[in-house]
Copies of this chain bind each other. A is one copy, B any other.
Amino acid sequence: MALVFSHTATDPVRLTDAMRSVFVELLVHGPLSRAEVARRLALSPSALTKLTRPLIEAGYLLEASGEEGPATVGRPSQPLQVDASRMSFAGIKLTADELFAVRTDLAATVQAETSRPLAGHDIDHVLGRITEAVEELTVPGRPLSGVGISLAGTATPTDPVVHTSPFLGWSQLPLAELVERAVGVPTVLDNDVRALTAVQQWFGEGVGHSSFALVTVGAGLGCGLVVGDRLVTGQSGATGLIGHLQIDDRGPLCERGHRGCARAYASSPSIRRSIATTIDRPDLTFDDCLALAADGHPVARRVLDEAGAALGQVVATVANLTGPELVVLSGESVHMYDVCAQAFHTALAAHTHWTARPVRVAVKPFAFNEWARGAAVTALQHLLLHR
């Protein structure tokens, strides 16, 4: 089930490790000259001529001869770039009651999307909807190179099995194997937050950073870590479980009975619930609550200040412990940042260890299909690197 690099069926390109690393370098770091790639990978210029030739001949790399850079001394360089259209990947995010799917190219650009409601969690039903979605996304005559599936729970790309998924009620389910058999395309699983981290690592804010953290806010809180250029996968895939980090011991209750945990302060359902029940307007949406806070409504203002402060403390804890170069904020409700930035940064500074440099924080707007895109990138990354 190796990723096939070929221009004709009879003449496949055999990928060596060096070719792979050149390809990934060009995919992630955009058009680069051979000379530049050679420097970055500590290879000789001649090695690059040899390594790139078969990839160019097979059409996976393009000589982007068009653009001229700023005039410089010496022979002008000839930038190479990956032809992103040469492969497609499907990414599928599973939630308790719906499935979101996208098709992306090699550069993780979304080219099609779809979704399916999930009427239940029995595997045959879910498998059926996944197969439908993949078939809908597949262009006839252009088979997918990989399928990625992400979900909340413990799963890793190295392993075709969902260890546990509380919201889907699964445990030890060999989902990747089943999907792979059903759709005939190599399939990779991963935790949803880690998948989102993979997007940032190769195609987002994390590019150029060998270690960073992604903190997500939404229905829950999550955290993905990249350390030494590697996405961290804990034992059986459990990492970044910051949702129930204790913020104080007198705050609101979360649904698992923790008083004052991060989730009780900063998840979007908690924020909405706090405001809506306190001012007795059960119809308020989360975004209504943000608008109220922006307008200075005292209850909404207070709840969002507390949420921002909780988030700041979470980010400080992550930064103190792992020392990332950067923390990226994302998730369905990152836009709450605009309403609570001050409280966030105050708490972040207060909880950053006094001997540590302040960590840089980047806020990444969240697109609706980002979770599914993450799943596609997981597949892409894992199939490019490990097969």
Contacts and interface: CB of A to CB of B under 8 A. Distances in A.
Contacts of A244: 320, 351, 353-354
Interface of A: 153-154, 164, 166, 211, 223, 225, 227-228, 230, 232-250, 256, 313, 317-318, 320-325, 351, 353-357, 359
7 contacts: A153-B355, A154-B356, A227-B228, A228-B232, A246-B246, A246-B248, A248-B248
Given A250-B249, A351-B246, A353-B244, A323 B153 contact: no
Contacts of A323: 232-235, 237-241
Nearest to A234: B323
A359 B238 CA distance: 11
A320 B242 contact: yes
A203 to B, nearest CB: 22
A241 B211 contact: no
A355 B166 contact: yes
Q: How many copies does the complex hold?
A: 2
A246 B241 CA distance: 17
- 8 pairs of A and B residues whose beta carbons are closest in the complex: A234-B323, A241-B353, A239-B323, A241-B320, A248-B249, A238-B356, A238-B323, A235-B325
A241 B353 CA distance: 7
**Most chain B beta carbons < 10 A, residue from A239, A240, A323:** A323
B230 A228 contact: yes
A56 to B, nearest CB: 30
A355 B321 contact: no
B245 A317 contact: yes
A232 B318 CA distance: 14
B318 A321 contact: yes
A322 B225 contact: yes
Given A227-B227, A238-B353, A239-B322, 9 more contacts: A228-B228, A228-B230, A228-B232, A234-B324, A235-B323, A235-B324, A238-B357, A246-B313, A248-B248
A164 to B, nearest CB: 6
A93 B138 CA distance: 61
Nearest to A314: B321
A321 B320 contact: no
Given A239-B322, A241-B321, A211 B234 contact: yes
A314 to B, nearest CB: 10
Nearest to A243: B353
Contacts of A357: 235-236, 238
A249 B320 CA distance: 19
Given A235-B357, A241-B356, A353-B241, A322 B324 contact: no
A354 B241 CA distance: 9
B241 A355 contact: yes
B354 A320 contact: no
B240 A321 contact: yes
Nearest to A233: B323
B228 A211 contact: no
A359 B324 CA distance: 24
Contact of A211 (B235, B243, B245, B256): B235
A85 to B, nearest CB: 33
A356 B154 CA distance: 8
A305 to B, nearest CB: 16
A318 B211 CA distance: 17
A343 B323 CA distance: 29
A371 to B, nearest CB: 18
Given A238-B355, A355-B153, A355-B154, A320 B245 contact: yes
